[in-house]
């Protein structure tokens, strides 16, 4: 595929899936303001196979999201097949992303995510990826870490390329590292030099300058930003502008996010927006006062007025 469904030339700027944050409203905002590709939050393939209602809603994309991949976590081949067949019927979904990076204990115990990178799970992982690519009528990508505890990224990347995976997103840490230490771009660079499919670098990218350095060093086709976009979804606008945005642009993004939250969640979006408002207010004048007022209101018009007042340009 060479990410040919993307309309621009590299470098590409992706939003990495992040549970609890990269829901449809958030993805809508970053896509509108410069993000090239979005992915659903990680969804357990077993839940999709059994057509869980909450899961169905998690798969829905916004009108802004093209291209859009659904990210799945797999620990059962038969359920994965059912999931892929369901996704095959959804024309609005452009591809499937396999999660091989989730480091949380629940994922480890359940046998999905980053634990599949362990050498003892290699044969099972082969079966997963071969089957996924064979059954899917859409492009398949993989988001992975460097390994579970030892680095196996080059070996697995070559294997995935041989099986027909379209592109890779690589987080520069092992699963056991969780989010500790610094991302290892040297290992990402080795993967870039070892395969012919696009590689997207992920980990510790928080601004345009950092993205530029990572792209130049690794030779990657793009970067994926997850935690770096929380409280800063305008980071994608910075990528496109190649520099910082204006206060006016920042306020525009915040208001767009709030409006998308209300559109998707209804009045409950006011409450759900609070965690985002707290992140947005870091460093602004009278931030604690703003947070206190946001926490007390359930009126959407008052939230808009507060954003206009405290982010006044």
pLDDT at 4 (0 to 100): 67
* pLDDT score of 6: 73
- The rounded distance, in Å, linking the Cα atoms of 261 and 282 is 20
Q: Per the residue annotation, which of 15, 45, 80, 102 is the catalytic one? A: 102
DSSP-derived letter for residue 37 is B
Dihedral (CA of 232, 236, 242, 247) sign: negative
The pLDDT score that the predictor gives to residue 3 is: 64
Give the tens place of pLDDT for each residue, 131-143: 999 999 999 999 9
The 3-state secondary structure of 196-235, one letter per residue? CCCEEEECCCCCHHHHHHHHHHHCCCEEEECHHHCCCCCH
Return the pLDDT at 244.
Answer: 87
Encode pLDDT of 248-296 as tens digits: 999 999 999 999 999 999 999 999 999 999 999 998 999 999 999 999 9
Residues 229 and 44: their CA atoms lie apart, in Å, by 23
The angle subtended at Cα 144 by Cα 122 and Cα 222, nearest 5°, is 140
- For the record, the structure tokens of 302 come out as 């008052």
Instruction: Clarify whether 35 is annotated catalytic.
Output: no
Q: Provide the β-strand partners of residue 70.
A: 96
Whole-number Å distance between alpha carbons of 117 and 106: 16
What mean pLDDT is predicted for residues 79-93? 97
Query: Can you give the length of the chain in residues?
Result: 313
Q: Give yes or no for residue 226 having a pLDDT over 70.
A: yes
pLDDT at 1 > cutoff 50: no
> Would you say residue 81 has pLDDT above 60?
yes
Mean pLDDT over 103-110 rounds to 92
Give dist(CA 93, CA 273) in Å, integer.
26
Span 6-20, mean pLDDT? 88
- Whether the model clears a pTM of 0.75, i.e. scores above it, the answer is yes
End-to-end CA gap in the chain? 44
Instruction: Name the residue among 174, 227, 224, 168 with its Cα closest to residue 198.
Output: 168
Tally of CB atoms within 10 A around 55: 18
Q: What is the pLDDT, as a whole number, of residue 72?
A: 98
Mean pLDDT over the full length of the chain: 94
């Amino acid at each position: 595929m060479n990410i040919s469904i993307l309309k621009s030339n590299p470098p590409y700027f992706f939003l990495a899936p992040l549970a609890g944050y990269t829901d449809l409203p958030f993805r809508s905002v970053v896509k509108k303001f410069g993000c090239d590709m979005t992915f659903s939050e990680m969804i357990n393939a077993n839940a999709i196979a059994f057509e869980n209602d909450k899961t169905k809603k998690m798969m829905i994309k916004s009108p802004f999201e093209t291209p859009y991949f659904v990210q799945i976590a797999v620990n059962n081949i038969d359920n994965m097949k059912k999931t892929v067949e369901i996704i095959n019927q959804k024309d609005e979904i452009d591809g499937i992303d396999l999660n091989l990076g989730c480091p949380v204990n629940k994922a480890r115990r359940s046998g999905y995510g980053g634990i599949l990178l362990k050498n003892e799970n290699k044969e099972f992982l082969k079966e997963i990826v071969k089957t996924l690519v064979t059954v899917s009528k859409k492009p398949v990508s993989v988001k992975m870490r460097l390994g579970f505890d030892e680095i196996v990224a080059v070996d697995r990347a070559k294997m995935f390329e041989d099986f027909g995976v379209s592109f890779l997103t690589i987080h520069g840490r092992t699963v056991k590292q969780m989010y500790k230490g610094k991302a290892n771009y040297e290992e990402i660079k080795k993967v870039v030099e070892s395969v012919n499919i696009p590689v997207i670098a992920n980990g510790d990218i928080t601004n345009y300058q950092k993205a530029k350095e990572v792209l130049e060093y690794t030779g990657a086709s793009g970067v994926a930003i997850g935690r770096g976009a929380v409280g800063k979804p305008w980071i994608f606008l910075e990528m496109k502008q190649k520099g910082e945005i204006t206060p006016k642009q920042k306020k525009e993004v915040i208001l767009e996010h709030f409006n998308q939250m209300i559109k998707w969640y209804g009045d409950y979006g006011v409450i759900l927006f609070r965690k985002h408002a707290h992140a947005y207010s870091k460093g602004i004048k009278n931030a604690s006062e703003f947070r206190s007022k946001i926490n007390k209101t359930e009126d959407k018009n008052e939230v808009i007025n507060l954003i206009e007042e405290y982010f006044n340009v």
